[in-house]
Every structure is written in C-alpha cells, then in structure tokens.
Amino acid sequence: MSRKRILIVDDEERIREVVRACLEDLGGWETIVVESGEEGLLVAESEAIDAILLDVSMPDLDGFTFFQRLQDNVTTRTISVILLTAKVLSSDRDRFSQMGVAGVINKPFNPVTLSEQIAAILDWY
Amino acid sequence: LGSQRGLGGFRRGATGVDLGGKNSGLQKLKIAMRRTILQYGFAILITAIALILTQLLIIWLQPTTAVFFLAAVAISTWYGGMKPGMVTIILSVLAIDYFFTPPINQFTVNYFGDLMRLVIFSLVASLINLLNSNLQYSKRKIERLSQQLAQENAQQLRMVLKAARMGIWDWNIVTGEITWNREHEQLFGLASGTFDGRYETFNACLHPDDKLALEKAIKQAIAERTSYQHEYRVIWSDGSIHWIEGRGQTFYDEVGQAVRMAGTVMDIDRRKQAEKDLREREVMLSAIADNLPNGNIFQMVRELDGSDRFTYISSGVRLYGLEPEDLLKNPRLIIEQHSEGDRLRILQAVEEMINNLTQLRIQVPRYLPSGEIRWSLLQATPRRLEDGRTVWDGVDMDITDLKQTEAQLQEQEERWQLAIVGNNDGIWDRDLKTNKHYLSPRCREMLGYDNTEVSGFDDWFSLVYPEDQEILNKTFQAHLNRETLRYNCEYRMLSKNGTYKWLLSRGQALWDSEGVPVRAVGSITDISERKQAEMALQESEKRLASLASAAPVGIFRTDVYGNIIYVNHRWGQISGCTLNEAQGTGWFWKLHPEDRDRVVREWYDSIETNATFRCEYRFVRSDGTNTWVYGQAVAEKKTISGKTLGYIGTITDISDRKQAEIALCSLNAQLEQRVLERTAELNLTNQKLTTEIQVRQQAELALKQRIEEVSDLYNNAPCGYQSLDSTGTFVQINDTELKWLGYTRDEILYKKKMTDLVTVKSREVVAENYPKLKEKGCVNNVEIEMVRKDGTTFPVSIDGIAVCDIEGKFLISRCIVSDISERRAIEKLKDEFISIVSHELRTPLTSIIGSLGLLKTGIYDNKPDKAKRMLEIALTDCERLVRLVSDILDLERLQSGKVALVKEMCEVTDLMQRAVESVGAIASQAHITIEIAPIPERVYAAPDAILQALTNLLSNAKKFSSPHTSVELAAKRRSHDILFQVTDCGRGIPADKLETVFGRFQQVDVSDSRQKGGTGLGLAICKSIVEQHGGKIWVESQVGRGSTFYFTVPV
C-alpha cells in the first residue's frame, strides 16, 4: 500500500502546522497543506489525494460550501472528507451529520491519536 | 365637263361593244382593203401635189427643190404608213430626176453631183418615212389599247353593278328625262326595259311616307351642292315593300344651274332588317339588364395599359346610388363603397381572374352613403381579346336579403338551441320506418350517461322501469293510432348511478298521406323532483287524513259559505251532534242561542281581516247540557291563486276550564278583601325597605368600583389571561392577550379553541398539557407558539390552574400567558455567544494541546528546531487565550454595570499621550507613525476606561495600516462634549459592516482575529466604555482609503 496522501484545509496557520506534524511525523503520511477553501478545491481536483481534513469556519469558503462544491464535481466527488472543527455544540453536530461527510473530529484533538482516528473513520488498516 | 364626256364615252362604249358583237370578219377585211387603197392613192396624190407646187414655186426654191417632196413623204407616211411613204419616195425621186435634175425632163443623170443629191434625198426621205411610220404605228397602238381598256372597264363595271344589284340612273334636269339601267328597273320591281324615263313613274313607285323626305333630300343636295344620299322605301307592283339607298351627284352648267343628276340605287333590305333585329335585340338586352331585380350586369375591359373601364353597366347600379354614366367615366366609384380590406380582396380576385382566366365569384359587403350595408355577390367570366386586352362580363347581385334571411335562420336556430338548453329538456327524434332514434346529449346527461352509451331506441327502452314499459308502449301506440292528440307519458328510467329517475316524455307523431306514422319527435323532461314532491304530497295528505280522524281535537271543514262539509269523530263527541245534524248550516242551530250572534260576528270579522277565527262558545247537546268549546278556523286557500276554497277549523272542549274560571271569580272576591288588609301592613314594611335600599345602593356603587378595578387589573395586566372550558374553547380572555393576537373578543369567545390559535407543532404540546391541567389542577411554564390573526407567530409561556365545582368536576381553566419573545431572543443571543466563545477558545487550545502533545511523544527530542517551533506555537496561542479571556471579562464587567466607573476630571492631552505611548513601541516596529493633535481641555471621565478605549482604537488602526503610513489621533471640543477621532489609511470597512463591527466577535473578516492577533472584542469593549460615559461611538470609512473612528465623551 502506497503512502496515504491527505489534504489539510485550515485557515489557522498554527493549527495547520500541528496537524501536519501529527500526520507526517506520527502517522507517516504525506500531506498537502492549504490555507483557503478555493485553494483546497484546486488541489483536490488536480492532485491525487486519499482524504481531506477540512476546517469548517474559514473566511473565503466555509466547510459546507467547500463540501458541496466537492460533491458537485465528478472528479472530486469520491474523495473522503473528515471535518476537523471547533464547533462542538449539538446544533452544529446536527448540521454535520446531514452533510454526508465521512466523519467529524473535534478540536482540540489528541495529537498522538489523530492519525489513528482518521484511519479508523476511513477503514484504513 | 370631263365627267360629262366620260359618261358619254361610256354610253358610246356600251354601244360600240354591242356593234362589235354583230359585225362579221368579211366586213372587217373590206374595210382594211379600202383603207389600204386610200393610203396608197393618197401617197401618189401627195407626190403629185409636191411636184406641182415645186414647179410653180421653183423660182423661190432654188437650190433646194426637194422641200415639198420631203413634206409629201412626211404627210404620206403619216397618213398611210411606211409602204405608201416608200411609194411617195420613189415617185418623188423619179419626179425630181425627171423634172429638176439636168438634163431636165429626162430620167438620165449626167453629173455625179446630181446623182448624189438624189441619193441623199432618198435617204433623208426614207429616214422621215421610217420615223413617221414608227410614230404613226405607236399612235395607232395606243389608241387601240385605250379602246380595249375602255371596253374591258365597261364590261367589268357592268358585271359589278349586276352582281351588287346596283342600279344606275341619269336624270336630265333640263329635259326631265331619266335613264335607268336594267338593275335599276329590277330594284324598282319593273320588268326589264319597261321604265319610260318619266319622273312621275319613278315617284309612283315610292312609299307614300318617304316621298316628301326624298324630294327634300334631293333638293337639299342640289341646293347645297353636296352629294346626295338617302334611304327610302319603294312599293313593288306585287305590293311588297323594299328598302333602297340612293346616291347621286349633281352637275351644273356655267351659270351654276343644275342641269343633270346621276347616281346609283342599291337594295338595302337585308341591312335594314339586320339593323332592325340588332335594335330589337339591344332593346331586349337593355330591358333585361335594366330590369334585373337586385343587381346589375356589366362588362369591363382591362386595357393594355393596365387600366380598367366599364364598357357597359346596367342601370341596376342605381341601387347603390350610382349612375351608370358616371361609372362609365370613372369605374373607381363602384369600388369606393367597399371597406379598405374588401377593396383589396376584390382587386386580388380580379387580378387572379385576369391572370388565370378563371371565373370570379366573391361576396362582399358594401357601405352605402346612406349608411346602409348591402351585400353583393360578384360573378364574372373573363375572355382574352385578340389584341391582348381582357374583357369580363359579369353580374353584381344584391344578396342582402339572402344574407339577412341566412342570419335570421341562424338566429332562429340559435334561439331554438338556447331554448332547448335553457329549459333543460332533452330532445328525441324517432324515425318510425327505419327505427333510427336520435337523442340529444341532454337526454343521456339527465341520466348520467355519456354520449357513447344508450344509442338506439332499444337501448333506451331497456332502461325503462319494467313496470312502466307497458305504459310507455301503450301510450305511444295510442298516439300513433291517433287516439290522443299528443304523446304524453311519465315513466321511470334507470340512471347510471343505479337509481330510477322520473321522466316526462312528450311528443308528436307525423303521419304520411296514407295515415301511416313515419316519424315522432318530442322532448324529455326530468320530473323526478316534481314526482317526489307529488308523492310527498300524497303521503302527507294520507297522513293528514289519518291524523284528523285520530286527533284529540274536533276538526271541521266548511265551504266558503260556512256550510260544514266534513267533521271528524272527535268533533261529534265534543259538539254532541252527528255529521248529518251538523252538515250545511245545521251546526249553527246547535250553538247556544246567546252565542250565535257573537260567533257569526267574529267569523265575519276574521274573514274580513284575514285573521284566524278564534272564539269561545257553547254547543247545546241534545240532553240540554252545554259544552264550552274554543273554536279556531282559518281560510283554506288555493296555493297559487290565493282564492279561498273554504275554512278549516278545530274545536277544543274547554268546559273544565270554564268551570274553573267561574270558581276563580268567587275566589277573587275573597282575595280582594285580604289584599286590602295586607296593603296596610305592606306600607309599613315599605318604609323599612326604602331605608334598606339606600344602604344597598351604596354597597352596589362600591361593588361597581371594585369590579372596574378588577376588570382593569384583568384586562390591562402586562400578561395575558385566559380561561378555557373543558373542551379547550375560550370562555374568557383579557385585552392584553387580545391585543397580542390581533383578534376581537367576539371572534374568540365560544368560537375558538386553544388549538386553533397555536402552531401545528404547539398543538401537540397543548393536547398533551391540557388533560394534565384538568387532572392535576395546574401546569407551569408550558411553552408554545401562538398564531396571530395575521398569521405571524410569537412564543408564550403558559401557567394555568383548574377551576372546579364543589364536587371537584373541572369547570374552566385560568391561565397566565406570558409573551417570551424577548426571552427567546436573549436565549438565542446567548447560544450564539456561547457557540462563538466555545469556538474562539477551542481554536487556540487546539494548537496548544497539539504542539505540546507532539512534544510529549518525544519525536522531536533530537530535533530541537522543531521542538522549539512547537513551543512557540503553544506560547503564542496561550497569549491569545489570555487576551481573549481578559477581554471577555472586561466586557462582562462593563456591560453588567456592576463596576461603577470612578470618574474624575482628566486632561484630554494627558489621556491621548498615554494611549499613544502604550501602542507606540509596537507601532514603530511596524513602521507606522502615530500623529497626535492634543487640545487643552478637561473631561470628567474614568481615565483608565477612556485610555483603554483609545488604546483599543489605536491598536486596531495600527493593525489595519500598511507600513510607512501614519495613524492620527485627534480631539475636538464641541458644545457639550469632547469628540475623539482615530484615523487610519488602512483598507477601510464595507458600508454594511459599519454598524456590526461594534458587536462581539464581529470582525470584518473572520480570519482577522488569527492574522492580526485580535480577539474580536476590542470594539465591543470601546462601545461599552463610551456608552457607560453617556457618549456615542461610530465609524466613517471608505473602502481602500481608510477609516475614522469617532467617540464622544460629554463634558
């Protein structure tokens, strides 16, 4: 099995850094890191990636719109999306469950088990 | 004169021809011989004369002696031709030789010169002879030719005249003699050669009516010197009349006197007949054309230049107010009466007709100047003339009447259809020979069938109620046998929904000349309702009869005059008389004598006033006892006309009551006595009561006031009050709640249930909680959404208790309704705030926990750079977290108002300088200068708070400014306050965010807090501070140019 390639979309610079470190240094995966939704959509379309770790609150394009545009595009429709979000209220959870994403991981997350959590959601064993 | 000679020549020629026809060839020869002898004799004679003359005149002739001989040759040749001329030459040569050539009188010639002279003479003479004879020959030939030509001409002319049956006449006016040729005689019906040349004979042949006119024509031609031409009739000897045309020319003498007249006559019978026929035909045609009813005939021609004109149009066109003469001049007049569109249509049709040579047929309306509209049917047939023009003969028929009839017919048909549809009847039409059965759609519709069902009569018949089939057949047959005038039958039919409907079928048959029915037509009416009514009536009549006989009151009926015609059993019992006794006026005599007048009077009164007769009276029974009755009667009227048929009434036995009344009377008397006694007692009591009433009235007034107070409390309470009965229907509601709902009290009380005034979702809540209230006696904080009359909703909280009767049975509820819109709004705000704060707190915590967690694993133990970076991340976000928490606390403290601001007089300049100092260091790091414009003013404020506001604004300004720009802090004294302003040259704020930036976590850009290190609370804090001071804060901005934040602090 080749190395997994994860696209990280988050507007918080330091969170990006931490997530990247978790996945590369602990998970041993490859990552592509972008800081905006539009950029993320371009990468998702042009690069071969296995999953997207997506922040919900972003200035240019929120997670919902990002996911919808991903679904509308035939080439990106099949990519698994996991939300990585600080929105943890029950009303937020209800919205996420209706989206059809592969899974939701709350912020703050456990850096040591982040990659395992992702693998569990996506059945990567 | 030339003409005269010509005519004379003709006559001569004519005779010559005649002679030539008679002479023989021998005679011709004789003449020729005589003529030859004469010619030769003349030749010898002329030579002799020349000799004599030369002899006599020789003296004057020397030396030209031959002159006369030459002349002799010439003359001889002219007269006799060449040969006699030659004789003259020979004789002349001999004579000259003998007489004038030396030796004289000898034929010998001595000198060559003389011989030559003779030879020359001979040559010259021969030449003259030759020329002259040629000339003579030519002349003869010409004469002969012209004679021949004249003969031929005369012959041709004769033939022509004969063929043309043209007569010639010549009238010598001087002598009166008239010459006619043979044809002329024939034309006048005379035998050939019988005309005697007299004018009288000619005149006798003329038709008496034409004599004068002919004479006049001749005289006129002579007088005016014109050629004469006249047509006249002649009467032949057999009495037949013939038309002649005479033509002629008059000749005059030198003095202008008419001397002669000549000319021709011609038979013009046929032409006259043809002319007559033509005239008659024209008269006939124009009579037809002009008398054509409602139309006109015309002929038009399309000229080569494309123009159209009438060659004929009959006077029928006057119908349109047009004159045929005008139309012949201007054909456009006829088309101008049509509308623009029709004109085009006609012209197109005409073009088509001309191009294809097809018939024209078109119907068009015409708008007459009188305002009338007339319809024309234009028909024409074209034909092409040889010269390329096109002619069409046409008829223009006025078909207005036809159109009107058509329209009337259509209208009638429509009216008939409407009538059928309007009376809702179905129509049937049955051909009795073919058994073809037509049913109008309404027939089927009445029974609920569609048009594809029930096609023939058999189908129809099979649906008739079995018991009615025979009646229908019988009735129909009876009509066909002419036993009834009309077919009229009521029967039941099975309708589509399985029920039977009553139908009334009416119709009329048609019989042929032999009396055999051929066809029947009629209508079908749905009379189910009428039948039902009828049956109901029958039923009710039946019921009524049984009711009457069994009724506990006496019932009677009378006719208009009061004669009883019916009484029921009970009437007999009460009155004590039988029907027989009561019949007619019998009943009257059974009345108590004292009551009779009264009863009659009352009876008539009630008839007059049209009122119900009501009267109490007595019957006297046969045993002498009286029965008191209460009698009532009303007029029985015909339903439609209102005419009174009789009266119907009842009697009730009131004997018992009457006895009681009598008893009552005696009791009354006793009572009156007692009353008097009691009255005295009462008067005393009355006085006591009056005092008591006054006390009560005061109490009532107090009560009224109390009620008003309670009502005010109830209706104008700041919350809603309502009471529902056990079904949940409103029985009480206060004004406050009504105002909220927008209904009036009448719209709600006893009409609406609680469930009617709440949202669908809340109905469940109500349905769940109301039984609970009834059972437990109270409910609290039931939160539901109520619906206003306008459809909008608002949330309420309801607390209710149950009101029960003594036995504990639920009567009504009493509820307090609280509008919790505001509470809800606050809760929503709170939720949003928590959501944001939660997010804002979790974000830095994510980096902190993440970076520290990674460090703890030890993977960066050998990578100090990475480890350091992780620590930096953790630290940065820790600071951010601290800022956030302290901002939230500041804001909470300010907004709760728990911390009173400690105000003191402060120097504005001092505040401004301190604010700049606190941000100065960071600003200069970012290469931003802060300019300050201090003013010497003082302000009464909490210095720390104002300082915090200024610092926040300056630090914001710094954050959004590009390097190497400046931020300006200024203050201004105004009438009541100090105005602070902080201006930057940053990116500006969009217009729609100018208000919201002062809200919590309301950065223009969500990511601003991360990038610029803000918490999103700075401006909210400023706003709180300024508002605590009683000032105002706002911002003015231009996107891309910068913003200025203002706030005021009252002096």
Which pLDDT tens digit goes with each residue over B1003-1012? 555 445 445 5
Q: What is the pLDDT of residue A15?
A: 92
Q: Which residue has the higher pLDDT, B106 or B9?
A: B106
- CB A21 to CB B843 under 8 A? no
- CB B847 to CB A12 under 8 A? yes
Closest chain A residue to B873, measured at CA: A14
Interval B117-175: pLDDT, tens: 888 888 888 888 888 888 888 888 999 999 998 888 888 877 877 777 788 888 888 88
Distance of residue B1038 Cα from the nearest chain A Cα, in angstroms: 21
Q: What is the pLDDT of residue B2?
A: 36
Residues B383, B302: Cα–Cα separation, whole Å: 10
Interval B255-283: pLDDT, tens: 888 888 888 888 888 888 888 888 888 88
Scan for tokens 């030879």, then name that residue: B119
Between the alpha carbon of residue B249 and those of residues B234, B253, B256, the distances in Å are 21, 14, 14
Interval B423-453: pLDDT, tens: 778 888 888 888 888 888 888 888 888 878 8
Write b or e for each residue in B215-236: b if 16 or more Cβ atoms lie within 10 A of its Cβ, otherwise e: eebbeebbeeeeebebbbbbbe
**Could you tell me whether strands A5-9 and A51-54 are parallel, antiparallel, or unpaired per DSSP bridges?**
parallel
C-beta of residue B634 within 8 angstroms of C-beta of residue B613: yes
- CB B1005 to CB A58 under 8 A? no
**Helix H or strand E encompassing B995:** none
Residue B666 is which amino acid? S
Closest chain A residue to B1006, measured at CA: A59
Between the alpha carbon of residue B624 and those of residues B67, B592, B628, the distances in Å are 205, 10, 13
Q: Which two tokens stand for residue B802?
A: 């149950």
- CB A18 to CB B846 under 8 A? yes
Comparing B653-667, B704-718, B930-944, B1000-1014, which segment has the lowest mean pLDDT?
A: B1000-1014
3-state SS class at B647? strand
Which residue in A49, A18, A38 sits closest to A115, CA to CA? A18
Over 80: is that where the pLDDT of B715 sits? Answer: yes
Interval B975-989: pLDDT, tens: 888 899 999 888 888
Over 60: is that where the pLDDT of B757 sits? Answer: yes
Over 90: is that where the pLDDT of A51 sits? Answer: yes
Residues B73, B44: Cα–Cα separation, whole Å: 10
Distance of residue A88 Cα from the nearest chain B Cα, in angstroms: 8
Q: Is A105 on the interface with B (CB under 8 A)?
A: no
- CB A12 to CB B1010 under 8 A? yes
C-beta of residue B637 within 8 angstroms of C-beta of residue B645: yes
Q: What average pLDDT does chain B have?
A: 84
Task: Find the mean pLDDT for residues A20-24.
Answer: 92
Task: Find the mean pLDDT for residues B935-943.
Answer: 87
C-beta of residue B784 within 8 angstroms of C-beta of residue B798: yes
Strand partners, B508: B521
Using a CB-CB distance cutoff of 8 angstroms, which residues of chain A are in contact with residue B843? 12, 15, 86, 107
- CB A87 to CB B866 under 8 A? no
Using a CB-CB distance cutoff of 8 angstroms, which residues of chain B are in contact with residue A89? 831, 834-835, 838
Closest chain A residue to B1012, measured at CA: A12
Q: Which of A57, A92, A108 sits opposite B845 (nearest CB)?
A: A108
Distance of residue B836 Cα from the nearest chain A Cα, in angstroms: 8
Q: State the angle between helix axes of B82-95 and B25-56 in degrees (0 to 180), rounded to the nearest 10.
A: 30
Using a CB-CB distance cutoff of 8 angstroms, which residues of chain A are in contact with residue B839? 57, 86-87
Distance of residue B744 Cα from the nearest chain A Cα, in angstroms: 40
Q: What average pLDDT does chain A have?
A: 89
Order of all β-strands in the sheet with A51-54 = A30-34, A5-9, A51-54, A80-85, A103-106
C-beta of residue A61 within 8 angstroms of C-beta of residue A34: no
Q: Is the peptide bond before B441 cis (omega within 30 degrees of 0)?
A: no
Q: What is the pLDDT of residue B1004?
A: 54
- CB A89 to CB B842 under 8 A? no
Interface of B with A (CB under 8 A): 831, 834-835, 838-839, 842-843, 845-851, 853-854, 856-857, 859-860, 866, 869-870, 873, 876-877, 1005-1007, 1010
- CB A58 to CB B1006 under 8 A? yes
C-beta of residue B941 within 8 angstroms of C-beta of residue B967: no
Using a CB-CB distance cutoff of 8 angstroms, which residues of chain B are in contact with residue A21? 850-851, 854, 866, 870
Interval B616-632: pLDDT, tens: 898 888 888 888 898 88
Q: Which of B831, B854, B1006 sits opposite A21 (nearest CB)?
A: B854
Strand partners, B635: B647
Q: What is the pLDDT of residue A40?
A: 92
- CB B850 to CB A111 under 8 A? yes
Q: What is the pLDDT of residue B929?
A: 86
Residue among B833, B843, B852 with most chain A CBs within 10 A, to mutate: B843
Residues B512, B433: Cα–Cα separation, whole Å: 11
Task: Find the mean pLDDT for residues B522-551.
Answer: 81
Interval B34-80: pLDDT, tens: 888 888 888 888 888 888 888 888 777 776 777 888 888 888 888 88
Over 90: is that where the pLDDT of B331 sits? Answer: no
Residues B57, B50: Cα–Cα separation, whole Å: 10
CA angle B70, B74, B76 (to 5 degrees): 110
**Which pLDDT band holds residue B7 (cuts at 50, 70, 90)?**
very low
Residues B290, B284: Cα–Cα separation, whole Å: 10
Q: What is the pLDDT of residue B672?
A: 86
Percentage of the residues of chain B whose pLDDT score is greater than 70: 96
Over 90: is that where the pLDDT of B638 sits? Answer: no
Which residue in B25, B24, B1, B20 sits closest to B152, CA to CA? B20
Q: What is the pLDDT of residue B1002?
A: 64
Over 70: is that where the pLDDT of B16 sits? Answer: no
Q: What is the pLDDT of residue B404?
A: 84
Q: Which of A11, A26, A107 sits opposite B857 (nearest CB)?
A: A26
Q: Is A24 on the interface with B (CB under 8 A)?
A: no
Residues A37, A42: Cα–Cα separation, whole Å: 9
Over 60: is that where the pLDDT of B670 sits? Answer: yes
Distance of residue A27 Cα from the nearest chain B Cα, in angstroms: 12
Residues B72, B78: Cα–Cα separation, whole Å: 10
Q: Which residue has the higher pLDDT, B1051 or B760?
A: B760
Strand partners, B644: B637
C-beta contacts of A97-105 below 8 A and 24+ residues apart: A99/A64, A99/A67, A100/A67, A100/A71, A101/A54, A101/A67, A102/A51, A105/A53
Distance of residue A74 Cα from the nearest chain B Cα, in angstroms: 30
Using a CB-CB distance cutoff of 8 angstroms, which residues of chain B are in contact with residue A17? 847, 851, 869, 873
Q: What is the pLDDT of residue B800?
A: 92
Q: What is the pLDDT of residue B20?
A: 41
Closest chain B residue to A36, measured at CA: B1007
Using a CB-CB distance cutoff of 8 angstroms, which residues of chain B are in contact with residue A13? 1010
Q: Is A65 on the interface with B (CB under 8 A)?
A: no
Q: How far apart are the first and last CA of chain B?
A: 156
**Which pLDDT band holds residue B189 (cuts at 50, 70, 90)?**
confident
Residues B574, B268: Cα–Cα separation, whole Å: 129
Interval B737-750: pLDDT, tens: 999 999 999 999 99
- CB B854 to CB A22 under 8 A? yes
Task: Find the mean pLDDT for residues B900-927.
Answer: 84
Alpha-carbon Rg for chain A, nearest whole angstrom, is 13
Distance of residue B1036 Cα from the nearest chain A Cα, in angstroms: 24
Over 60: is that where the pLDDT of B14 sits? Answer: no
Over 90: is that where the pLDDT of B923 sits? Answer: no
Q: What is the pLDDT of residue A54?
A: 92
Q: Which two tokens stand for residue B793?
A: 């909703």
Residue B1042 is which amino acid? G
Q: What is the pLDDT of residue B1047?
A: 92
Interval B854-894: pLDDT, tens: 999 999 999 999 999 999 999 988 988 888 888 888 888 87
- Count residue pairs from A and B with Cβ separation < 8 A: 91
- CB B842 to CB A88 under 8 A? yes
Interval A66-116: pLDDT, tens: 999 999 998 899 999 999 998 888 888 888 888 889 999 998 999 999 999
